[in-house]
Amino acid sequence: MIYMLVCKDPKSRLPEVVDQAAKDIFQLGEQAVWFIDIDCTSSELLDMIWPDDEEDASSAGVGVLLDVEGYRGYAPTAFWKWMKAHRK
C-alpha cells in the first residue's frame, strides 16, 4: 500500500522506525511530503509515526496521513516513475 504523509513543518523528518519498515520511500522535493510503500494498515503506520497520539514526540511533528488510491497532477518525472514502479 502507498501512503502519503504531509507534515506542517518543512524540517520534519520521518521516524526511523518508518524508514526501516518501509519497502521504499519517495520524498517530494525539499518539502515535508513523503510517499511511503509499506505493508501495513494506515492505523499501524500512524502508530509508527505518532506513537500514543503524541505528535510532539514524533520527528514528523504535526501532519496528515492519507492512503493513495489514485493519482493525478503535476510533479517531477522521478515521482511518476516511482509511483508506476510501486503501484500494485
What is the DSSP secondary structure assignment for residue 8, as one 8-state letter? Answer: S
Instruction: Specify whether the CB–CB gap between 43 and 29 falls below 8 A.
Output: no
Reported in sequence order, the residue ranges of 8-86 that DSSP labels E, i.e. its strands, are 24-27, 33-37, 63-67
What is the DSSP secondary structure assignment for residue 19, as one 8-state letter? Answer: H
Cell numbers placing 87: 503501484
How many domains, in total, are found in the chain?
1
The SS3 assignment for 65 reads strand
pTM of the predicted protein model: 0.84
pLDDT at 5: 93
pLDDT band at 6 (very low <50, low <70, confident <90, very high): very high
Strands 2-7 and 63-67, bridge-based pairing: antiparallel
Q: Which domain holds residue 62?
A: 2-86
From CA 48, how far away is CA 65, in angstroms rounded? Answer: 12
* pLDDT digit string, tens, across residues 14-59: 888 898 999 999 998 888 899 999 999 999 998 888 877 665 556 7
Assign residue 13 the CATH number of its domain. 3.30.70
